[in-house]
Each structure stands twice: as C-alpha cells, then as structure tokens.
C-alpha cells in the first residue's frame, strides 16, 4: 500500500520521527472486582453426588498465580478413587441417565445453565483467582460462554432424533474426560454439556492448578438435583489423568491439552475399542494481506495472541504479514501493545493477567530467550509488573524465520512471532508448514481470497477479518497434531453417540 500522504513535500524540514506518548498523564485508579468468590478452605472429590475425602487422605494446595497465595486445598485422588467414580458413573448410566428421556435430561441442563448465570460474578472471581486470567475475560467470556454451552445442548437433548438425519442415535455409556488449565470452566462446559445431553455419564479430571471452579460447579450440580453419579470429578495431577484414561469402564475418552500428552494417550489406548477425541496444541497463522483494514487487523492480532495471556490453543501466535505493509503493521502493533495493561487480574481494567503457573512462566521465558539467541528482534513495552506472582510482558518478535524455535513450537504465552510473505502461495505454504492445524486467520478486503485461503489452509477453524470467535453452535477442532473430533455444534454431539 502506498504511503498515506498524497504528495510528500521534498523540502520538508527534518524533524524526529513522530511518536505517540502513552504515559501516565491520566492514570486509572485501581478498580478491583469485589464479589465474594465463596471459596471453601478444602475441596473433596465429587463422586456419586457427594463430596468425599480421597482414600489417600492427601490434599494439595491450589494457589493464586497473581500473588502466589494459597486459595484452598484440593483432594489428591488415586486410582482407587477413580475406580469408585467410574463404578458410580456406570450405575448412574445403567439405572437412571441412560434410560431417561431426552426432554427430562434437558431440564437438568437448563437448570445448570441458569444456576451458573445466577452465580456468574461469583464464578468469574473464582476463575480469575484460580487461573490468573483478567476478570473482564472471565466475566465477559468464560462464564457466559460456559452457560451458553449448557443452554445450547439443553436445547438439543429432546431433539436428538434429528441430529443425524436418517439415523437413530444412542449414548455411548460412560465417558472419561480430562481438561486443561487455560479455560477451566469453559472446557468443563464444552465436555460435560454434549456428553450429558446425549445421555452419557461422566468422570472428569480438571487440571491440577485449576480445580476450583470445577468443584464449585459440583455445588451447582447438587443444587440442580442432578442424579448421583451422572457427573463425577476427580482431582490431582497426571497420574490421576492416566487412571481416568486407562480404566476399563469408559466407552470414550475426551482430552484437551498438550500434543505431547495426547500422543501418550493415543499410545495407551491403541488396541482398545474406546472412542477418542483429542483437542491439542496449535501454532496458528494469522495472515494479513496488504489490502486488509490494517487498524482492525492489528486489533485482531492483539486479540488473537494476547487473549488469556496467550494461553489459548488456537492463539494466533504466528503473524504472517504481506511485505508491503510489514513495517506499518509492526509500528501499529507496537503502539497498540503499549496501552495493554498488565497486572492484577482482579482489576477490571487489566488486559493481561497472570501466567497460570511458575512452570509455564519458565517455559515462556526460555522460549523467548531462544528467540533472542536465534536472532529475532524482540519488542516489549516498558511498565512495572507486580513484584509477587507470575507475570510476563506482551512480547512481539520481528524478523522471525520459519526455522526459529519461536516459529515452530507452541509457546502458550503472550508472545507473537512475526514473519513476512510476498505471494498468496507463499502465505499458504508458510501457514501450513507446521505440525499443528487448529486455527488460522485471514485479513483481506477481497472476498474471493478469503474463500481460496479457507480451503487451502489446513486448519480446523479459519477466521476471516476477525479472530478468536466462539459459539456453541460452531464446531471446533483440529487437523494433524492438533487432534481430531469436534466440539460444539451438531458435529460435537455426534462425537458423543453411536449411530444405529
């Protein structure tokens, strides 16, 4: 794109390059969200409709990543607890839930959705305390979307005769589910709602660092009068996850998490007749052409990579920019991230909260160091970070090439790698040159180019002139090492049933 002035006056007096000042002339006062998260000091396992102590009698601490303070104690489950949970789920499936008409199951799901809406602020604060994400995201995205998933699938429960035209559907039985720490409540809703609507019963393990909203949802399940055993929560680390995956009872395993763990699960389930859906990592390309509305594209890029501190499997972590506008986009991006507010996640004005855990912070730090070492150019805005807690500044790397580690590995943090391209074919080739294939973004004013790109990009979701848009009606899932199976929409439901 040409420069923005019509004719440059050649005799213009030389002055320093214009800069915008994003200082503290108008500094905002702290605006903390004050709703009570109503946390208990200790959370037990939720099995057969009751909170029960783990057989081991052991508990581990759940901390607030924003200040490293302890929030609650969480029960440490063992294989024996997992077995009890599966027995309860099997009994509930055989005796109650599997036989219940869909229209009756729908009532429970509607009730769960409404109770979650009633307690939305409480859940939002709990989610932010436990995971470190900004309150504005848990308040405006995580909790409302979780409720929306329950509503959507409640609507399906009495219409399952129409979900697969010409076929009849039946539930699978008991399903085992393991979810990650980046969207604890939302991933829980993505997993539970379709499974329950279809008539399955569930044993689910939340991530070790973010179990609290899951166990708070157990209170809602009790309040909703959900029959005992239909949903069971077991908490703990990877060994509990392995026990959930490898137990003989479940007819299906659903996992969202890293590709590394996904591969271990596939290996361990090979040779069994368990069904599987895996939603794994990503290294999405966000592709900006020279005819794109650049200011809005920059907004979308920021949304794509800094949403939830970049702890998003579909984060737009690789920015591919058309060479003619690369310089312009970089300048705009720098000016944009200078006004992102990093800090206390409970502050309503915070844009980037705390990194979820010390381990994750260490991983991000080491990958960023590798980017610097391999010769990419780093930019981070200045500004103070809180002294306690796990924080990382929004980071952009320019001058990245396809062989850099930061262009290939999933960083899962607020780090953007910028690459350039010259032609449409080069953009497609670079975008697809990755082991992953979860999502991609295309920014252009030209409709036909959007259609071409969306067919040629090997990604489960392609967003056009927007990024990170989700809806319960829209299936989400990956290609290649980003997994298989879909969540959301009719396609997501079909992954929780057998066709007869």
Partner 1 sequence: MLARSPHAALRRLFDEVGAVDAVGIEERVAKYGTRSIKKAAKLWGLKLAASMVDLTTLEGKDTPGKVASLCQKALCPHDPELGVPQVAAVCVYPAMVKHARKALGSDTAVRIASVATAFPSGQAPLKTRLAEVKAAVGDGADEIDMVINRGAFLSGEFGVMQDEIRAVVAACGDATLKVILEVSELETYDNIRAASFLAMRVIREGDFIKTSTGKTSLNATLGNNQVMIEAIRDYYLDTGVSIAMKPAGGIRTAKQALTFLVAIKETLGDAWLNNARYRFGASALLNDLIRQIAKERSGAYQAPYYFSEATESY
Q: Which residues are catalytic?
A: 279, 313
Q: From the list 26, 34, 166, 382, which residue makes contact with partner 1 (rule: CB under 8 A)?
A: 26
Size of residue set near partner 1 by CB under 8 A: 39
Q: Is 291 in the site for partner 1 (CB under 8 A)?
A: yes
Q: Is 165 in the site for partner 1 (CB under 8 A)?
A: no
Q: Is residue 452 a contact partner of residue 424, using CB atoms and an 8 Å limit?
A: yes
**Among the residue ranges 148-156, 237-245, 297-305, 455-463, the one whose residues contact partner 1 (CB under 8 A):** 297-305
**What DSSP line would sit under 349-417, residue for residue?**
T-SB---S-HHHHHHHHHHHHHHHHTTPEEE-------SSS-----EEEES--TTSHHHHS---SSEEE
Least distance CB 368 / partner 1 (angstroms): 25
Q: From the list 102, 227, 238, 293, which residue makes contact with partner 1 (rule: CB under 8 A)?
A: 293
What is the C-alpha to C-alpha distance for residues 458 and 442, in angstroms, rounded to an integer?
13
Residues 379-398 that bind partner 1 (CB under 8 A): none
Least distance CB 118 / partner 1 (angstroms): 22
Q: How many residues does the chain have?
A: 500
Torsion on CA atoms 367, 369, 373, 374, rounded to nearest 10: 20
Residue with tokens 């507010």: 341
Q: Is residue 468 a contact partner of residue 304, using CB atoms and an 8 Å limit?
A: yes
Looking at beta carbons, which pairs linking 424-430 to residues 24 or more positions away fall under 8 Å?
424/449, 424/452, 424/453, 427/285, 427/287, 427/289, 427/320, 427/322, 427/453, 428/453, 428/456, 428/457, 430/285, 430/320, 430/402
Nearer to partner 1, 1 or 402 (CB): 1
Least distance CB 143 / partner 1 (angstroms): 15
What is the C-alpha to C-alpha distance for residues 196 and 153, in angstroms, rounded to an integer?
8
Q: Is 30 in the site for partner 1 (CB under 8 A)?
A: yes
Q: From the list 10, 18, 57, 403, which residue makes contact with partner 1 (rule: CB under 8 A)?
A: 18
Q: Is 6 in the site for partner 1 (CB under 8 A)?
A: yes
Nearer to partner 1, 325 or 494 (CB): 325
Nearer to partner 1, 332 or 404 (CB): 332
Nearer to partner 1, 417 or 468 (CB): 468
Please give the DSSP secondary-structure letter assigned to residue 165.
T
Report the alpha-carbon angle 313-457-429, nearest 5: 105
Look at the alpha carbons of 106, 107, 112, 113 in this order and tell me if their dihedral is positive or negative.
Answer: positive
Least distance CB 373 / partner 1 (angstroms): 32
Query: Pattern of binders to partner 1 over 438-467, x per CB under 8 A?
Result: -------x-------------------xx-
**Among the residue ranges 183-191, 286-294, 423-431, 432-440, the one whose residues contact partner 1 (CB under 8 A):** 286-294
Q: Is 299 in the site for partner 1 (CB under 8 A)?
A: yes
Residues 300-319 that bind partner 1 (CB under 8 A): 300
**What DSSP line would sit under 307-366, residue for residue?**
GGGG--TT---EEEEEGGGHHHHHHHHHHHHTTPPBS-TTBTT-SB---S-HHHHHHHHH
45 contacts: CB under 8 Å, gap ≥ 6? 51, 52, 53, 54, 75, 77, 81, 85, 232, 233, 234, 235
Nearer to partner 1, 69 or 296 (CB): 296
Query: Pattern of binders to partner 1 over 326-345, x per CB under 8 A?
Result: -----x---x---x------
Q: Is 20 in the site for partner 1 (CB under 8 A)?
A: yes
Lookup: tokens for 378: 């780093």
Least distance CB 144 / partner 1 (angstroms): 14
Q: Is 474 in the site for partner 1 (CB under 8 A)?
A: no
Catalog residues that contact partner 1 under the rule CB under 8 A: 1-6, 15, 17-18, 20-23, 25-31, 136, 140, 291-297, 299-300, 331, 335, 339, 348-349, 445, 465-466
């Amino acid at each position: 794109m040409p420069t923005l002035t019509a004719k440059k006056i050649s005799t213009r007096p030389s002055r320093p390059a214009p800069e915008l000042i994003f200082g503290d002339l108008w500094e905002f006062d702290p605006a903390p969200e004050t709703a009570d998260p109503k946390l208990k000091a200790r959370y037990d396992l939720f099995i057969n409709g009751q909170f029960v102590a783990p057989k081991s009698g052991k508990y581990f601490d759940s901390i607030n990543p924003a200040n490293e303070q302890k929030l609650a104690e969480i029960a440490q489950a063992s294989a024996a607890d997992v077995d009890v949970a599966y027995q309860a789920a099997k009994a509930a499936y055989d005796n109650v839930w599997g036989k219940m008409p869909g229209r009756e199951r729908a009532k429970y799901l509607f009730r769960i959705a409404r109770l979650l809406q009633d307690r939305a602020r409480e859940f939002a604060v709990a989610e932010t305390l436990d995971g470190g994400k900004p309150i504005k995201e848990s308040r405006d995205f995580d909790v409302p979307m979780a409720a929306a998933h329950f509503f959507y699938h409640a609507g399906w429960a009495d219409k399952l005769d129409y979900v697969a035209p010409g076929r009849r559907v039946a539930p699978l039985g008991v399903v085992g589910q393991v979810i990650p720490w980046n969207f604890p409540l939302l991933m829980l809703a993505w997993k539970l709602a379709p499974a329950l609507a279809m008539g399955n019963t569930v044993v689910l393990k939340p991530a070790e660092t973010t179990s609290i909203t899951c166990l708070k949802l157990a209170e809602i399940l009790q309040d909703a009068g959900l029959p005992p055993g239909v949903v069971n929560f077991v908490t703990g680390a990877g060994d509990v996850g392995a026990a959930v995956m490898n137990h003989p009872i479940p007819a299906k395993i659903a996992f969202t998490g890293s590709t590394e763990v996904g591969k271990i699960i596939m290996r361990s389930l090979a040779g069994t007749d368990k069904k599987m859906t895996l939603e794994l990592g990503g290294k999405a390309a966000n592709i900006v052409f020279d005819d794109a509305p650049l200011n809005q594209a920059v907004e979308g890029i920021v949304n794509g990579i800094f949403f939830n501190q970049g702890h998003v499997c579909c984060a737009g972590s690789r920015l591919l920019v058309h060479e003619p506008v690369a310089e312009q986009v970089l300048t705009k991006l720098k000016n944009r991230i200078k006004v992102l507010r990093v800090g206390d996640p409970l502050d309503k004005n915070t844009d980037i909260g705390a990194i979820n855990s010390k381990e994750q912070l260490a991983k991000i730090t080491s990958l960023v160091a590798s980017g610097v070492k391999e010769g990419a150019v780093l930019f981070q805005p200045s500004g103070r970070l809180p002294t306690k807690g796990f924080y990382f500044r929004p980071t952009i790397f320019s001058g990245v090439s396809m062989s850099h580690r930061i262009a290939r590995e999933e960083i899962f943090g607020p780090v953007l790698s910028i690459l350039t391209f010259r032609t449409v074919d080069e953009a497609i080739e670079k975008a697809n040159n990755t082991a992953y294939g979860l999502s991609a973004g295309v920014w252009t004013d030209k409709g036909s180019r959007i259609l071409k790109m969306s067919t040629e990009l090997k990604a489960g979701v392609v967003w056009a002139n927007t990024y990170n848009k989700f809806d319960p009606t829209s299936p989400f899932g990956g290609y290649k090492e980003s997994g298989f199976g879909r969540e959301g929409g009719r396609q997501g439901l079909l992954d929780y049933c057998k066709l007869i």
